[in-house]
Amino acid sequence: ENQISHPTIQPSSASVLRLPGFALTGEIPLGVFSNLTQLRTLSLRLNALTGNLPQDLANYLVRLNLAENNFTGEISPGFNNFTRLGTLFLEDNSLSGSLPDLKLQKLKQFQWGAIVVPSIPNGGGEGKRKKLSGGAIAERRVVVSQDRLTLNRLNKRWEIQGDKPIVDAENGGGYGSGYSVAAAAAAAMVGSGKGGDLNSAGAKKLVFFGKAPRVFDLEDLLRASAEVLGKGTFGTAYKAVLEMGTVVAVKRLRDVTISEREFREKIETVGAMDHENLVPLRAYYYSRDEKLLVYDYMSMGSLSALLHGNKGAGRTPLDWKIRSGIALATARGIEYLHSQGPSVSHGNIKSSNILLTQSYDARVSDFGLAHLVGPTSTPNRVAGYRAPEVTDPRKEGVDLPRWVQSIVREEWTSEVFDAELLRYQNVEEEMVQLLQLGVDCAAQYPDNRPSMSDVTRRIEELCRDWPAGRSCPPA
C-alpha cells in the first residue's frame, strides 16, 4: 500500500517532494518521477525502499536524499547525469562501489554509510577511482551524520580503522595502538640537553597546575603503557595508564612554532583555567623536541564518538535530556572561558572536544591550544567551528552553520534534526529553540551574536520547560 507507483505521482510543477518516514517499501519504478519536471529537491529518507538506486531520476535535481533505506548494489552510474546535484545523502543503505567519475562539480555535500568517500575529482574530468572496502584509504574524509561538514579536509589521506581516522598517511605514518608515550618522549629527550624543566638534581620534570596532589612524575609517565586515542589538529592523544593505576590523557603536540617563553606563558594561562565544565590541564612537559600536555582522562569519550561512533544494533541513542544537558554544560564552560578576558576564546569548538564523564557531565577540552602552535599555521589547521572573521574567507567547503542556514526553518524537522530523537520523544519545539540559538551564535557579525551568558540563560530557560520529572542540571 505504501509502494510508489505511477498513478500516485501526477504531473506537477512541484519543486520539492519530501516523503521522509512514509514507510515506503519496494523498488522505485522506472520513470515514476518523470512527470515532475520542476523537481529540485527529492527526499525519500527513512523509508524501506529496496533494489538498486534509481537510474533515471530527474537530472535537474539539486538535492537528493535517499538515506536510511534498504537500497542495495552498486552506486548507480546514472549519477553521471546529475550535473546540478549539490547535495547527496546515501548513508545507511547497503550500497557498494564508488561514485563514478563525476561530472558533479557542484556536489558540495555528500554522505554515505561508511565514513569513507571515494575520490571525487576536483572540477570534473578523470578522477582517481577508489573502491570502498572495510579499512579503505580514502582521498577525503566525510564527517558522519549530524556533523555534515563534508569535504573540509581536502587533499588529506586518512587510514580508516572502524570509523576513526587514525593516521594521516600523508604525514608519514603514525603510531599503532599500544605505542608508548615513553618511547617517543624518552627518545626525544636523550641528549637534547636544552629546554625542559630541571629540578635541583638536573632532571627534567613535569610542570603541574592546581592544588591537586602530584601523584606521578615524568618517570611514571614515561613508563606508562599508552594507547592511541586519536590524532587531532595539534598532535596525537594517548590514554596512559600509570603503574599506580592513575589514568591520564596525554597529548603530544606537533609543530609548535612559538618560542619557549611564549609557550610557557600561554600554557600557564590555559593551566590556570578552573571550571567544572572544562577538562583540567594537570601538567605539561616542554623540551626542544617534545611537548606533552597531561589532562584528566574522560572515560566516556567524546560527544562526537557518542553521536556518531557505534551505529550498530544495541546502541542506546543519547536522549534529548542528556543532549540539552550537554549543551548547557558546554555553554557554561565556554562562558567561563570568555569571562577570563576579551581576548580569551576556545578556538576550536567541535563535538570531539566535548568530553563526558561517567554520568554524562560534559567538559570542554582543548581550549587555548589553537594559540599554542603559532599564529600563522592555525587558520587552516583547525576544523572546529570558529567565527567567520577568524577563518580564511577563501576556504572552500560547506560548514555546519552555513548548511543549517541554507535550510528554511519549516524544513528543519525533516532535514536537520536527528530522526532518532523525534521518533521517541516529543521534543520538536525544544529542538527548534536550541537550533535557533545555535544559528544566532553563528551569526556573521559579532554584534549580532548573543553573549555566552545569554546563551547559558536561554538554554537554562529551555530546560525549565522540560516536562515534570526532568530538571535542569545544577549550575
**Least distance from C-beta 177 to ligand ATP, angstroms?**
13
**Least distance from C-beta 418 to ligand ATP, angstroms?**
20
CA distance 361 to 215: 25
Q: Is 147 in the site for ligand ATP (CB under 6 A)?
A: no
SS3 state of residue 424: helix
Q: Is 174 in the site for ligand ATP (CB under 6 A)?
A: no
In the complex with ligand ATP, which residue's Cβ is closer, 80 or 152? 152
The Cβ-side half-sphere exposure at 210, using a 13 Å CA radius, reads 18
**Least distance from C-beta 473 to ligand ATP, angstroms?**
20
The CB-nearest residue to ligand ATP is 232
Segment contacting ligand ATP by CB under 6 A, of 185-193, 294-302, 330-338, 463-471: 294-302
Q: Is 233 in the site for ligand ATP (CB under 6 A)?
A: yes
**Least distance from C-beta 346 to ligand ATP, angstroms?**
10
Q: Is 230 in the site for ligand ATP (CB under 6 A)?
A: yes
Q: Is 263 in the site for ligand ATP (CB under 6 A)?
A: no
Segment contacting ligand ATP by CB under 6 A, of 27-35, 57-65, 117-125, 345-353: 345-353
Site string for ligand ATP, 75-94 (x = CB under 6 A): --------------------
In the complex with ligand ATP, which residue's Cβ is closer, 328 or 373? 373
CA distance 239 to 224: 9
CA distance 307 to 309: 6
One-letter amino acid for residue 242 of the chain = L
3-state helix, strand, coil in the chain (%, to 5): 25, 20, 55
Q: Is 251 one of the annotated binding-site residues?
A: yes
DSSP state of 306: H
Q: Show the cell assigned to 323.
A: 543532549
Give the bridge partners for 161, in sequence order. Answer: 164
**Residue 18: CB atoms within 10 Å:** 16
Please count the residues of this chain forming the interface with ligand ATP, following the rule CB under 6 A: 22
Q: Is 294 in the site for ligand ATP (CB under 6 A)?
A: no
Write the Ramachandran bin of 191: left for phi over 0, alpha for psi from -120 to 50, otherwise beta.
left
Site string for ligand ATP, 354-373 (x = CB under 6 A): -x---------xx-------
Taking alpha carbons only, the member of 278, 285, 282 closest to residue 295 is: 282
Q: Is 382 in the site for ligand ATP (CB under 6 A)?
A: yes
Give the bridge partners for 111, in sequence order. Answer: 89
Q: Which of the residues 300 through 329 are near ligand ATP (CB under 6 A)?
A: 301-302
Taking alpha carbons only, the member of 351, 181, 348, 340 closest to residue 271 is: 340
DSSP state of 302: B
Q: Residues 317, 420: contact at Cβ < 8 Å? A: yes
**Least distance from C-beta 362 to ligand ATP, angstroms?**
12
Contact positions vs ligand ATP (CB under 6 A) = 229-230, 232-234, 237, 249, 251, 279, 295-298, 301-302, 348, 352-353, 355, 365-366, 382
Residues annotated as binding site for ATP? 251
